[in-house]
Chains A and B, each alone.
Chain A
Amino acid sequence: MQRHLVLRVTTKLLMPFILLFALYVQFHGDFGPGGGFQAGMIFGAGFILYALVYGIDSAKRVAPAGALRVLISAGLLLYIGVGYAGLALGGNFLDYGVFSAQAPKGQHLGIFLVELGVGVTVAATMVTVFFNFAGRGRD
């Protein structure tokens, strides 16, 4: 990919926009198409684009395999933690209404955290899957 200057420069220019758009999609799931899964995929796609153009080793410097493993578990644990918090505060499992005095505010908070967990897990999983596929045959 050394000689494909257009690809390299364009990727470098686009990366921040891709990641920013992923964050936008993540947090605007209530008001437009979006949410955790879609945002996680866009985020992962950004990293995969970078790895395709600049090589897996450069991408692994930013997102090492161990950190990704922790992120996969952390996202899922955040989701389940929100569920348990609902239990601890007196409601049923995954009841968000108990998080605040006014039920809609509690539900906003609950959905926000849950979608964040989903987005983190999905992004980390996508990047891990790509690294595992593309990294085979090297060792």
Chain B
Amino acid sequence: MDALGLYNYWIAIVLMMTGFYVVVSRGNLVKKIVGLNIFQTSVFILYISMSKVSGGTAPILAEGFETYSNPLPHVLILTAIVVGVATTALGCALVVRINEAYGTVEEDEIQSQDQEA
């Protein structure tokens, strides 16, 4: 088959793994949040790229157009984007409070402070 024709899936997977790797490997809490964001964005691309109908226009009713792209994934992704924004905001609020409580946002320093206590 044409693996190159499925380039949208390749992009989604590369982004997904990049985001996941950042979450797992980086010790800085803010970087983890950024990694989580990249991970979630890959999911958005996966959904929206699958909704495109070849030859279809944007899913808004208009005169003179017969084929439209599938609007359902767009709606699902709007919801998922809101969830992503809320998660990021909550994560950042936690990081601000952690910074105030521990004085640092590096995971290993936080763990060593907890172990001393």
Contacts and interface: CB of A to CB of B under 8 A. Distances in A.
A133 B30 CA distance: 15
Interface string A56-75: 00000000000000000000
Contact of A129 (B60, B82, B89, B100): B89
A100 B60 CA distance: 24
Q: Is the interface of B mostly helix, strand, loop or mixed?
A: helix
Size range of the interface on A? Answer: under 10
Nearest to B100: A136
Contacts, number: 14
Interface residues of B, number: 9
A102 interface: no
Interface in B9-52: none
A59 to B, nearest CB: 18
Interface of B: 60, 78, 81-82, 89, 92-93, 96, 100
Interface of A: 31-32, 35, 37, 129, 132-133, 136
